[in-house]
Chains A and B, each alone.
Chain A
Amino acid sequence: DVKVTQSSRYLVKRTGEKVFLECVQDMDHENMFWYRQDPGLGLRLIYFSYDVKMKEKGDIPEGYSVSREKKERFSLILESASTNQTSMYLCASTMGDRDHQPQHFGDGTRLSIL
């Protein structure tokens, strides 16, 4: 089974701090994703990576950046955290180059910015 592991289940940070969310997958998947999940809005894509060092903006990239130095690890960075970034953050991965691939999700990081 695919395992996607997010480093923290709960995180509390202060406004203006630099915040790192880490995600690791163990199935050699090419594609990795970061989403935020808010009630009534479903999952919104922040950033997507299709290979090491490659990234693509999603629908809501403002205020975020990402890093993918190794295939198995995809990091989400909040450069200067703000209260409107309080949310549930979900990481996912898929194999590349195949149609209709399911996304495999981690259990999420619930981030609170005070």
Chain B
Amino acid sequence: TQLLEQSPQFLSIQEGENLTVYCNSSSVFSSLQWYRQEPGEGPVLLVTVVTGGEVKKLKRLTFQFGDARKDSSLHITAAQPGDTGLYLCAGDNFGNEKLTFGTGTRLTIIP
């Protein structure tokens, strides 16, 4: 069974600070997706990274896929209270329709 470990599991920081969340595996994935889940709702896709070494930016969020396609990171600049939520990474297993989800990082931004 493939595993995706996320770190940290919990993170609580002040508004305006920067942070990085990590998603690591010993397995290779064809792509990596990042989702955010807010209380009472299902996860919503933020971004998909496909190519090893790829960097994608979504406003203050920067996503990177590792060169070997085994890991990914999410960096948030100048965090806002609206960034609060559960962040999940998910690996695509070379088109077999199923995703392997990470363990999740619960982020709280304190105003």
B50 proximity list for chain A (CB < 8 A):
100
Judged by a CB distance under 8 angstroms, whether A41 is at the interface is yes
Partner-contacting stretch, out of B12-20, B68-76, B99-107 = B99-107
Q: Is A42 in contact with B44, judged by CB distance below 8 angstroms? A: no
Q: Is B45 in contact with A40, judged by CB distance below 8 angstroms? A: no
A54 nearest CB across to chain B (Å): 11
Given A40-B9, A43-B101, A50-B97, check contact A100 B30 (CB 8 Å). Answer: yes
Judged by a CB distance under 8 angstroms, whether B95 is at the interface is yes
Given A42-B88, A48-B97, A48-B98, check contact A4 B42 (CB 8 Å). Answer: yes
Q: Is A42 in contact with B98, judged by CB distance below 8 angstroms? A: no
Q: Is A108 in contact with B97, judged by CB distance below 8 angstroms? A: no
Which listed residue (B1, B45, B88) contacts A102, Cβ 8 A? B45
Tally of A-B residue pairs with Cβ under 8 A? 60
Q: Which of B41-90 contact A (CB under 8 A)?
A: 41-45, 48, 50, 88, 90
Bound-complex Cα distance A106 to B31 (A)? 23
Bound-complex Cα distance A31 to B101 (A)? 17
Residue of A nearest to B44 (CB): A105
Given A42-B102, A43-B101, check contact A100 B42 (CB 8 Å). Answer: no
A35 nearest CB across to chain B (Å): 8
Residue of B nearest to A96 (CB): B97
Binding site for B on A (CB under 8 A): 4, 9, 31, 33, 35, 40-45, 48, 50, 58-59, 90, 92, 94, 96, 99-100, 102-103, 105-108
- The 30 listed contacts between A and B (C-beta, < 8 Å) are A33-B98, A40-B103, A40-B104, A41-B103, A42-B101, A42-B103, A45-B98, A48-B97, A48-B98, A58-B98, A59-B1, A90-B43, A92-B42, A99-B30, A99-B31, A99-B92, A100-B50, A102-B45, A103-B33, A103-B45, A103-B90, A103-B99, A105-B42, A105-B43, A105-B44, A106-B42, A107-B42, A108-B40, A108-B41, A108-B42
| 4 shortest interchain CB distances as A-B pairs | A105-B42, A102-B45, A43-B101, A42-B101
